[in-house]
A and B are shown apart, each in its own frame.
Chain A
């Protein structure tokens, strides 16, 4: 019987010929990522007590993104400890304030097709955009991986997601994944792999694919894989990584427990309403609520293409006087490219406040958090009560187009109107 991509990758990492869904296996991971918030500060002391070091310094990536730039002394100490850890174990791939871990792992070509990759963060699924089996885990699981390179996994069942045809202008991967979350609820993919297929996916850039993989976390999934293809090969080649071998894929007779199908042309701009990311409605049915804050940030919402989408809407327009639009680029590379292409100046001319790269207000840890009563529309991934600051603030989740359009209108509106206007 055929095997899914997840089963193949897990079997290889477990040193087995094949594995079955629901089986628990021990695997050797190919790549691991830890960050400043859930990383060394949580277990370096334990490592010293146990008198063990890092299992393989070349397979570990350390990123400081949650607490950069330090807003107080306690944050500075967390960054210092992370820096000391990287220096002590001589970790070659340590990145502080260079971007959000999930974006860096892809942008720098660290994650590769077919890898079993584990990150110490719930959005580590992002690596699935490159065709890896990418999962997130908590601190103590990462302690085991950092010191032994192994972990246990329950082999997931796979749901096939098909996007037939490309989506119209003004509609982004964020709209597709929010639509999926709305249709299937935040527990709809619990413990499963979501594997993406169809002509709409094949035509999608790696950055847009990474939005899908990233937010499979919001549907409860273990992994969100876009099988590697010609787009992946080109993306890696652009980073000097030449791969000739065929990429692993699911067999055509593999067992999928379900299929979720979407027609590209029917996907429309949507928003997730406060305080549930699965309370999703078409943006035209949201009732145009007024907003005072627009936030373009996070691993899922502030890569170069996200900034470019926002700039497309903001070009020749201004942010409404009562709105604060903040942009926290997902990486230094994203910002640099936005500067080179003029995207950054279009954002700034419209009145955007550019924040440093990092997690920023997304987890309510960094700068740009919300006060009680503030209503925000955001390109981030979650809107649980208090996620971005005060428990009495409200967050709508939407695409970069929709967030930019809301910043201009001062309320939640359909961004397509602003895109057709300049086409006319």
Chain B
């Protein structure tokens, strides 16, 4: 179970603002320090481990750069709850082991609220208000990648066999 503070972003958050192009030249772990540089500079320093990003629709649109969800995860974010995700970003989240949680009522969560996210059962709860929302449960094929910690650990396991 994930429990943390909500950091709120709007609709169509683009991977170009999550990790601007000029940081792509850096190795992934160094790029992570600049997460959200294009929209909320200094974000990495404010986040506590286990916190949750709350987005609107089409979160992670734009470039296929996997550095974007990787940097979000490295900053300590445990899940992204959004009304919808851009498709490559969604896959990239799963592949780096960061839970993308699709929740139609994500916009009712306010910045700073404490939220509890149950990825397996598809529930998002606002602890401050006691409200609880349904979220989309991940299909088994996809959930298994997330459970393995991402696609690399899963592939490593496969190739070991």
Interface positions of A (Cβ within 8 A of B): 24, 37-38, 42, 46, 49-52, 67, 74-75, 78, 120-122, 136-141, 143-144, 147-148, 152, 186-187, 190-191, 220, 222, 276, 363-365, 382, 384-387, 391
Assess whether B155 is in contact with A50, with CB atoms less than 8 Å apart.
yes
Which of B1-9, B56-64, B121-129 lies at the interface? B56-64
Q: How far is the CB of B82 from chain A (nearest CB, A)?
A: 11
Chain B interface residue number, banded: 35 or more
A288 to B21, CA, bound (A): 29
Complex contacts, A364 vs chain B, CB 8 Å: 16, 20-22
A387 to B63, CA, bound (A): 10
Assess whether A384 is in contact with B16, with CB atoms less than 8 Å apart.
yes
Assess whether B95 is in contact with A152, with CB atoms less than 8 Å apart.
no
Complex contacts, B14 vs chain A, CB 8 Å: 382, 384, 387
Assess whether A75 is in contact with B61, with CB atoms less than 8 Å apart.
no
A143 to B91, CA, bound (A): 13
Assess whether A186 is in contact with B61, with CB atoms less than 8 Å apart.
yes
Q: How far is the CB of B86 from chain A (nearest CB, A)?
A: 6
Q: How far is the CB of A293 from chain B (nearest CB, A)?
A: 17
Assess whether A51 is in contact with B159, with CB atoms less than 8 Å apart.
yes
A144 to B23, CA, bound (A): 25
Interface residues in B19-54 by Cβ distance below 8 A to A read 20-22, 24-25, 28, 38-39
In the complex, how many residue pairs between chain A and chain B have their CB atoms under 8 Å apart? 119
Q: How far is the CB of B106 from chain A (nearest CB, A)?
A: 14
A-B pairs with lowest CB-CB distance, top 10? A364-B21, A187-B58, A140-B95, A138-B92, A138-B66, A384-B14, A122-B64, A384-B16, A139-B66, A363-B21
Question: Does B104 lie at the interface of the complex (its beta carbon under 8 Å from any beta carbon of A)?
Answer: no
Complex contacts, A363 vs chain B, CB 8 Å: 16, 21, 24, 63
Q: How far is the CB of A130 from chain B (nearest CB, A)?
A: 20
Complex contacts, A220 vs chain B, CB 8 Å: 58, 61, 86-87
Assess whether B91 is in contact with A186, with CB atoms less than 8 Å apart.
no
Complex contacts, A276 vs chain B, CB 8 Å: 12
A139 to B64, CA, bound (A): 8
Contact of A152 among B22, B39, B141, B159 (CB under 8 A): B141
Assess whether A38 is in contact with B25, with CB atoms less than 8 Å apart.
no
Assess whether A365 is in contact with B21, with CB atoms less than 8 Å apart.
yes
Question: Does B78 lie at the interface of the complex (its beta carbon under 8 Å from any beta carbon of A)?
Answer: no
| Chain A to chain B contacts (Cβ below 8 Å), 29 pairs | A24-B139, A37-B65, A38-B64, A42-B28, A46-B152, A52-B159, A121-B64, A122-B63, A122-B88, A136-B88, A138-B64, A138-B65, A138-B91, A141-B151, A143-B152, A186-B61, A187-B11, A220-B58, A220-B86, A220-B87, A276-B12, A364-B20, A364-B22, A365-B21, A382-B62, A384-B62, A385-B16, A386-B38, A387-B21
Assess whether B156 is in contact with A50, with CB atoms less than 8 Å apart.
yes
A148 to B161, CA, bound (A): 14
Interface residues in B80-121 by Cβ distance below 8 A to A read 84, 86-88, 91-92, 95-96
Assess whether B95 is in contact with A187, with CB atoms less than 8 Å apart.
no
Assess whether B38 is in contact with A141, with CB atoms less than 8 Å apart.
no
What residue of chain A has the Cβ atom nearest to residue B156's Cβ? A50
A139 to B91, CA, bound (A): 10
Assess whether A137 is in contact with B152, with CB atoms less than 8 Å apart.
no
Complex contacts, A67 vs chain B, CB 8 Å: 25
Q: A140-B92, A384-B14 are in contact. List 10 more A-B contacts (CB 8 A).
A: A50-B156, A75-B25, A143-B155, A187-B57, A220-B58, A220-B86, A363-B16, A365-B22, A384-B17, A391-B20
Assess whether A190 is in contact with B159, with CB atoms less than 8 Å apart.
no
